[in-house]
């Protein structure tokens, strides 16, 4: 198993990134939240899981070891393949997913594109007690790409839009959700007395989850 990659990011696209290791460019499929931490030309470390199929070898990458471990465990549930597991981690951080399963929050799980009510009930039944309690994971250190990036460098709006479209939402719906999230962000900053500057550089993964909540209520 390839446990992690450490190298230079050479390309970032909505569905994944290319990381050069030892002169070889490896394509890694990632969640939008993980992609938001990667920047072309910078070094990065991503935890990885290699999924082997008869016709393909696909490498999936994650910002932390905990995300990777949850990704692997999710696939032990009936009907959950790597693509659906990745979509679940695009919508939920590992601890949020643990809380949803522990509390049997079927409605929350159905926010993930591709999961209906029966599928959510099955996931709760099969994974109850196996994901652990919130805070029980062992997150790895974020990659150097995230630590060294200057404030404002991550184009979070484009990352969130690409992530929503990649998860199956229409571009028009994605734009409306992003606009609603921006309004909430500005209102929160104004309420705190921090002014508009405080809302400039939010975390892309958090904004993606906020946009998905908006879409699930539409």
Task: Give the pair of three-digit tokens for residue 75.
Answer: 């696939």
| DSSP code at position 141 | P
Task: Give the pair of three-digit tokens for residue 212.
Answer: 């998905």
Q: Which residues pair with 49 in a beta bridge?
A: 60
Task: Give the pair of three-digit tokens for residue 190.
Answer: 């104004």
Q: Which residues pair with 62 in a beta bridge?
A: 47
User: What whole-number distance in Å separates Cα of residue 64 and Cα of residue 139?
Assistant: 5
CATH number assigned to the domain covering 4-64+140-147: 2.40.50.140
Question: What one-character-per-residue DSSP string does 73-111 give?
Answer: HHTTSTT--HHHHHHHHHHS-HHHHHHHHHTT-HHHHTT
User: What whole-number distance in Å separates Cα of residue 13 and Cα of residue 177?
Assistant: 21
Q: What is the mean pLDDT of each run of 10 residues along the chain (218 residues)?
A: 90 88 93 86 94 88 93 92 92 91 92 91 90 65 39 59 72 83 81 54 75 77
Domain limits of the chain?
A: 4-64+140-147, 65-127, 156-217
Q: Quote the pLDDT of residue 183.
A: 85
In angstroms, what CA-CA distances link 119 with 35, 123, 138? 27, 6, 27
Q: Quote the pLDDT of residue 19.
A: 96
Structurally, at CATH architecture level, domain 65-127 sits in: Orthogonal Bundle (1.10)
Q: Which residues pair with 41 in a beta bridge?
A: none
Q: Quote the pLDDT of residue 196.
A: 47
- Whole-model pTM? 0.65
DSSP3 helix / strand / coil % (the chain, rounded to 5): 45, 20, 35
Q: Quote the pLDDT of residue 86.
A: 92
User: What whole-number distance in Å separates Cα of residue 214 and Cα of residue 116?
Assistant: 18
Q: Quote the pLDDT of residue 208.
A: 79
């Amino acid at each position: 198993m390839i446990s992690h990659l450490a190298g230079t990011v050479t390309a970032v696209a909505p569905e994944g990134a290319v990381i050069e290791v030892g002169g070889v460019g490896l394509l890694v499929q990632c969640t939008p939240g993980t992609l938001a931490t990667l920047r072309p030309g910078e070094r990065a470390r991503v935890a990885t899981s290699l999924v082997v199929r008869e016709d393909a070898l696909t490498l999936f990458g994650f910002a932390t070891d905990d995300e990777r471990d949850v990704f692997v465990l999710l696939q032990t549930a009936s009907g959950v393949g790597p693509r659906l597991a990745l979509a679940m981690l695009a919508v939920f951080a590992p601890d949020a997913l643990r809380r949803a399963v522990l509390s049997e929050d079927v409605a929350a799980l159905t926010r993930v594109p591709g999961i209906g009510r029966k599928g959510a009930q099955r996931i709760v039944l099969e994974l109850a007690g196996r994901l652990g309690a919130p805070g029980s994971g062992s997150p790895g250190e974020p990659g150097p790409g995230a630590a060294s990036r200057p404030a404002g460098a991550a184009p979070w709006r484009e990352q969130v839009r690409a992530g929503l479209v990649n998860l199956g939402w229409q571009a028009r719906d994605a734009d409306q959700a992003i606009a609603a999230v921006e309004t909430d962000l500005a209102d929160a900053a104004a309420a705190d007395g921090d002014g508009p500057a405080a809302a400039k550089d939010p975390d892309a993964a958090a904004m993606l989850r906020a946009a998905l909540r908006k879409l699930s209520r539409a």
